[in-house]
Structure 1
Amino acid sequence: MDPAAKAKLVARTDLYYDMSYTVAYSTFANIPSEFKQLICPYTTENSGISTDADSENGAPVKTASLLDLYSGCGGMSTGLCLGSALAGLKLETKWAVDLNSFACKSLKYNHPKTEVRNEKAEDFLALLKEWAILCDKYVHSNDSDAAEPVEEEEADEPLGKDEFVVEKLLEICYGGTGRKNGIHFKVQWKGYGPEEDTWEPIENLSDCPLKIKEFVQEGYRRNILPQPGQVDVICGGPPCQGISGFNRFRNRDNPLEDEKNQQMVTYMDIVSYLQPKFVLMENVVDILKFADGYLGRYALSRLVSLNYQARLGMMVAGCYGLPQFRMRVFLWGALPTMVLPKYPLPTHDVVVRGGAPNAFSQSIVAYDETQRPTLKKALLLGDAISDLPKVDNYQPHEVIEYGGQPKTDFQRYIRLSRKDMLDYSFGDATCPEEGKLLDHQPLRLNQDDYDRVQQIPIKKGANFRDLPGVKVGANNIVEWDPEVERVYLKSGKPLVPDYAMSFIKGRSPKPFGRLWWDETVPTVVTRAEPHNQIILHPNQGRVLTVRENARLQGFPDYYRMYGPMKEKYIQVGNAVAVPVARALGYSLGRAYQGEVDVGYDALFVLPDSFTNIGQTGARARASSVGTPAGEVVEQ
């Protein structure tokens, strides 16, 4: 309803509501049309959809812009774009922001057209506000085209001892490491090379108004920074380290007073400022557990207070075609003029075991136990990585040949090219490494750990408990075998380290644990050390490689990581599982184009073409499911 008609209608009332609430998936949504006197139909005319007249070869013709906050290496935005394309929407990651410089390099390589910013989210928000002021002055104002005075550097007068000429302004930021708050420009100095470029505060450039004007007008034309109304979708997973079990000083009474949880507020502040059509926030399930779900409730209520429709659900990565469990929270937001996206029901038969808080058990995305859907078999580790060539503990090459053919449907799919994946991030250009195997490198273990790993038996369930001198006593607690003399390595250090024996009071089988082909991984981790986790390859003397971990997260094989080896593992482990984001992207693509199912439930069934190899370019109509989520059961 347009604001004028709404104001006229509610003027005669004491109380009114314009949004419905449903307990399942904590859904705040537009009131079903049968209860409205006047409604604004979902049409492309009011949805702000733009069209791309240059689309060819059956590619989507409708386009939308995406801002990826706390982007990491881009797992969430990549998946959203892939899924949206299958639904007929060309979603483009126009901007991305992350504090990890290596993750930014990875995202920029895989999305070369994206404006990637390596900075704090709060600095990014401050920059957006300052950028709007600069654009008002140099682009939108009536005198923005007026002649400026000739700048001093353009004259041919000799320079003083400490004077330099500004050749060009290259970049813009707000504050940053070692700099005070405020606008700074990266300056290219006349007569000097790139290594001499420096960051200068805007007040130091007061004699260079033409250079500033030139930069702002060019930046506005290139859309280097978004302004309110220019962003269609915001996605991201703000870190909430204040709820981590490793934080001994967690604030349970008011978690938002903890500085480590402030990124949740910053994320919502950016949403408030930019007012995108859609919002998708991802986070760990602990935001619904810690302090009675304080942070999850805050995020949901903040969206509603901004007049967004909203719903909250928990999704398991394995349910969408991955050999890992990995449950995460996903929060949708949509303006009242848009269709609120639904959650895609599982495509693979994975048992949803414990981990969800009781207060939000009705928000698990799963089939009802009375339903008997036809699902694909759950994926196992062998389905994902059995085709990859054997490598040693030290493998120095970032790019190698596959050396063999794929063995499973998953492997055939994960090897697809960008074009076949409907990935438009490279445009028409072909990646020079197309068809090669990237990042199939393990973290190189030190000699002692390598010697230990070499002695872990090649069998299912093997770990440090299988080494000589260790026996399992009462209550599954390890102890030293008094009849076996302790074994030492060449370095003089013990074969079985003390920390393995004492880890979790001797109850854990994780140290130096070996994965097996017919298993599902609990979750991909950010560290590759085998000291306290099961990460050894089933039949090789090493930890899983970066590529093997990336396979478990659903990254296409063409997706390359940048940075030191440990940083690559961090990027992969922190990412949103790509198949989950892809399924959500399909839902987003349908909602963006105004596709509404009969009924007002929160779930829908993905079409067969979504998971069938060789049919990625086909569009199919999804069906709605009006039943609540299934019960959480223990495996």
Structure 2
Amino acid sequence: MTKTVIDLFCGAGGLSEGFRQAGYHVVAGNDFDTAAGETFAKTHKEATFLPGPIENITPKDFLKAGQIKAGQLDVLIGGPPCQGFSVYNHQRGMHDQRSSLYLEYLRIVDGLKPRWVVLENVTGISSAGGGEAVRAIIKGFSELGYQVEARTLKAEEYGIPQERRRVLFVGNRVGLPIGWPEPTHGPSLKPLVTVRDAIGDLPLLENGEEFGGKAYRSAPKSDYQKAMRAQCKAVTNHAAPRLGAINMERLQHIPQGGSWRDIPFELLPKGMKRAKRSDHTKRYGRLTWDGLSSTILTKCDIHWGAYIHPEQDRAITVREAARFQSFPDWFEFTGSRTEQYVQVGNAVPPLLGRKLAETIFRVEAGEVATPFELQLTG
């Protein structure tokens, strides 16, 4: 019997794409972002997309969209908007209105009564309010009859070519143990997937060059490239943002692995001329072929992070950012280029979602030991 998923705050659908790759059937999704909703609808044709603020949607709306009854849904997934908890928001905390959107998630949980729940958020949630946010979320699930655990996962340990940390809440109401995916990449495991492994086959671009639907630069040269390309014959969402003349002059001085510190003082932006050498470590950073991508944010702006191509003097494209997030190449993002970057940066890497989904499958199949069994065998 096919397992079912509904995705709240779905964005473009990175988490649901991962569950779909693991064999789940995505029946519905919701987001208030119009452009992200268009991408979700286009890439999840089997699902019903419910647009608009979650506050305006009832559990019955989701049940109708998914053609299911309360208690029949296998997994409810989602990532409530996280800006209120982000480490980039220095005023973060429970007072931020966006921080309370997890209550909407809990409201839908109460109405749908899924077997499993998966909620994703930024690591800043762990320190927000002195840990109040994490405690409140777990308490909220507990009051609805769910045993839930929270854990911080590192994307690169699961074959994703990016330094990315996210907090995951996973739980169920059916008395099964909580399982977590075992890392597959790192010391004593498979080598980390590098920037070269991820984007080395994508076409060359000049600064500001538009590139639509043309062939790849080369045959796939890594297992990761093969997986991302699947049967695709052309590249989409691959256009270089146009950088101004002063930024192009700055880029000439930045080697692989370098940053704003390599730019001559007289060429630095006015505000950065007052910066300490220990500040802004990622600004004007150029990626290295043999390293990981820095965390993909909603703006791949070179002034704010390491988003310069390893050898081409330009910022990374939406497609390159999507590769670092493990989106397959057939997954095309709609909307303006700015909106596309937002969709990619907000997403849960599909590969991480797939690992979580596969773990839930194994738990339900009895392949993950219960705490009692672990105690007996420990």
TM-score, normalised relative to structure 1: 0.56
Q: Which of 456, 475, 480 is the matching residue for 2:253? A: 456
Q: Report the counterpart of residue 10 of structure 2 in structure 1.
A: 71
Root mean square deviation, CA, Å: 2.6
Q: Which of 542, 558, 561 is the matching residue for 2:314? A: 542
Shift of 1:332: 1.1
Q: Secondary structure at the match of 2:140?
A: helix
Shift of 1:274: 1.0
**Aligned counterparts of 1:266 and 1:521: Cα–Cα separation in 2:** 33
**Residues 45-75 of structure 1 deviation map (CA, whole Å, 9 limit, x = unaligned):** xxxxxxxxxxxxxxxxx21221100111100
Q: Secondary structure at the match of 1:93?
A: strand
CA 1:240–1:535 in structure 2 vs 1: closer, same or farther (change >3 Å)? Answer: closer
Q: Report the counterpart of residue 112 of structure 1 in structure 2.
A: 45
Match of 2:237, as an amino acid?
D
CA 1:445–1:600 in structure 2 vs 1: closer, same or farther (change >3 Å)? Answer: same
Gaps of 5+ in 1: 1-61, 86-90, 136-219, 351-373, 418-433, 471-485, 487-494, 604-625, 628-635
**Residue 220 of structure 2 is aligned to residue 439 of structure 1:** no
Q: Report the counterpart of residue 348 of structure 1 in structure 2.
A: 185
Match of 1:299, as an amino acid?
I
Shift of 1:112: 1.3
Match of 2:257, as an amino acid?
G
CA 1:246–1:412 in structure 2 vs 1: closer, same or farther (change >3 Å)? Answer: closer
Q: Secondary structure at the match of 1:72?
A: coil
Alignment of structure 1 residues 478-493 onto 2, 5 Å: 486=266
CA contact (8 A) 2:210 2:240 kept: no
**Residues 597-622 of structure 1 deviation map (CA, whole Å, 9 limit, x = unaligned):** 3442899xxxxxxxxxxxxxxxxxxx
**Aligned counterparts of 1:377 and 1:120: Cα–Cα separation in 2:** 42
**Residues 2-47 of structure 1 deviation map (CA, whole Å, 9 limit, x = unaligned):** xxxxxxxxxxxxxxxxxxxxxxxxxxxxxxxxxxxxxxxxxxxxxx
Q: Which of 262, 287, 290 is the matching residue for 1:466? A: 262
Q: Report the counterpart of residue 181 of structure 1 in structure 2.
A: none
**Aligned counterparts of 2:140 and 2:50: Cα–Cα separation in 1:** 26
Q: Report the counterpart of residue 595 of structure 1 in structure 2.
A: 366
**Residue 67 of structure 2 is aligned to residue 261 of structure 1:** no
Shift of 1:393: 1.6
Structure with greater strand percent: 1
Alignment of structure 1 residues 265-276 onto 2, 5 Å: 265-276=103-114
CA contact (8 A) 2:86 2:125 kept: no
**Residue 30 of structure 2 is aligned to residue 97 of structure 1:** yes
Q: Secondary structure at the match of 1:73?
A: coil
Shift of 1:245: 5.0
Gaps of 5+ in 2: none
Alignment of structure 1 residues 226-265 onto 2, 5 Å: 228-245=70-87, 247=89, 250=92, 255=94, 258-265=96-103
**Aligned counterparts of 1:504 and 1:267: Cα–Cα separation in 2:** 42
CA 1:121–1:497 in structure 2 vs 1: closer, same or farther (change >3 Å)? Answer: same
Shift of 1:450: 3.3
Q: Which of 549, 574, 578 is the matching residue for 2:350? A: 578
**Residue 113 of structure 2 is aligned to residue 316 of structure 1:** no
Q: Report the counterpart of residue 481 of structure 1 in structure 2.
A: none
**Residue 88 of structure 2 is aligned to residue 292 of structure 1:** no
CA 1:113–1:598 in structure 2 vs 1: closer, same or farther (change >3 Å)? Answer: closer
**Aligned counterparts of 1:446 and 1:390: Cα–Cα separation in 2:** 19
Q: Report the counterpart of residue 42 of structure 1 in structure 2.
A: none
**Aligned counterparts of 1:601 and 1:583: Cα–Cα separation in 2:** 24
**Residue 348 of structure 2 is aligned to residue 510 of structure 1:** no
**Aligned counterparts of 2:155 and 2:373: Cα–Cα separation in 1:** 18
**Residues 334-383 of structure 1 deviation map (CA, whole Å, 9 limit, x = unaligned):** 1226x344101100016xxxxxxxxxxxxxxxxxxxxxxx5101122112
Alignment of structure 1 residues 151-166 onto 2, 5 Å: none
Shift of 1:298: 1.2
Q: Report the counterpart of residue 530 of structure 1 in structure 2.
A: 302
Alignment of structure 1 residues 48-67 onto 2, 5 Å: 62-67=1-6
Q: Secondary structure at the match of 2:55?
A: helix
Shift of 1:588: 1.9
Shift of 1:586: 0.5
**Aligned counterparts of 1:406 and 1:440: Cα–Cα separation in 2:** 17
Percent identical: 31
CA 1:398–1:297 in structure 2 vs 1: closer, same or farther (change >3 Å)? Answer: farther
Q: Secondary structure at the match of 1:113?
A: coil
Shift of 1:533: 1.4
Shift of 1:384: 1.1
Match of 2:284, as an amino acid?
F
Q: Report the counterpart of residue 430 of structure 1 in structure 2.
A: none
CA contact (8 A) 1:76 1:578 kept: yes
Q: Secondary structure at the match of 1:597?
A: coil
TM-score, normalised relative to structure 2: 0.91
Match of 1:74, as an amino acid?
G
**Aligned counterparts of 1:311 and 1:246: Cα–Cα separation in 2:** 25
Shift of 1:333: 1.7
CA 1:245–1:577 in structure 2 vs 1: closer, same or farther (change >3 Å)? Answer: closer
Structure with greater helix percent: 2
Q: Report the counterpart of residue 496 of structure 1 in structure 2.
A: 268
CA 1:530–1:379 in structure 2 vs 1: closer, same or farther (change >3 Å)? Answer: same
**Aligned counterparts of 2:13 and 2:221: Cα–Cα separation in 1:** 27
CA 1:404–1:258 in structure 2 vs 1: closer, same or farther (change >3 Å)? Answer: closer
Q: Secondary structure at the match of 2:307?
A: strand
Shift of 1:323: 2.1
